[in-house]
Chain A
């Protein structure tokens, strides 16, 4: 069975600095999707970035980028020029391509942004 591990329960970053959130996963599948979702306090989860396993190029969305290392089964999220609005819980998620569409989530990392 697939598993997702987020080893950092909490992280802090100074405003305007860069922070990296880690995520590792375990799977025997070769084709899958990986996601980073953000949940601000008292608000709903929104997609930050998505990576398709068959694409070698790392996904980027403005200040957010990932470092996808397929062989190492690692999927870290880098946030550049951190802003106060980036403060949230960040969840890493895995989804198989064939078969079930369910997400498998990590336990989340709470990111604090310090002014």
Chain B
């Protein structure tokens, strides 16, 4: 069974540019999460999809971030325009729908905004 995959693994962009991160969850997992870790700090929750619906987007920093999950499969996270403080590692995770769920994480996308 394939794990959670993320693309790209690394991205270096200039301030003001747009970047789109992609996450493919484990097949059959209805729940998909985005998290971000800024250098040296804790991993912070961004948002949670259940199938194609946004269940919780309380962690989204501002309206420069747009997440979508078309058809309830893969998800994209777009940052437009990118700012220096958006640099960090963006993790995606997925889980099945049950009470004791464990989230399975992807390898992350390392974003550097110059």
Q: Which residues of A line the B interface, CB within 8 A? A: 4, 33, 35, 37, 43-47, 50, 52, 91, 97, 100-108
Contact = CB atoms under 8 A, between A and B. Distances in A.
Given A97-B99, A100-B48, A105 B56 contact: no
A63 to B, nearest CB: 19
Interface residues of B, number: 28
Interface of B: 3-4, 31, 33, 35, 40-45, 48, 55-56, 58-59, 91, 95, 99-108
A103 B35 contact: yes
Contacts of A45: 91, 105
B102 A50 contact: yes
A33 B98 CA distance: 13
A101 B4 contact: no
A44 B100 contact: no
Contacts of A43: 107
Contact of A102 (B45, B91, B106): B45
A77 B43 CA distance: 19
A9 B106 CA distance: 23
Given A4-B42, A107-B41, A108-B42, A101 B48 contact: yes
B48 A107 contact: no
Contacts of B41: 107
26 contacts: A33-B100, A37-B105, A44-B3, A44-B4, A44-B107, A45-B91, A45-B105, A46-B105, A47-B102, A47-B104, A50-B102, A100-B55, A100-B56, A100-B58, A101-B56, A101-B95, A102-B33, A102-B56, A102-B59, A103-B43, A103-B45, A103-B103, A105-B42, A106-B42, A107-B42, A108-B42
A73 B101 CA distance: 21
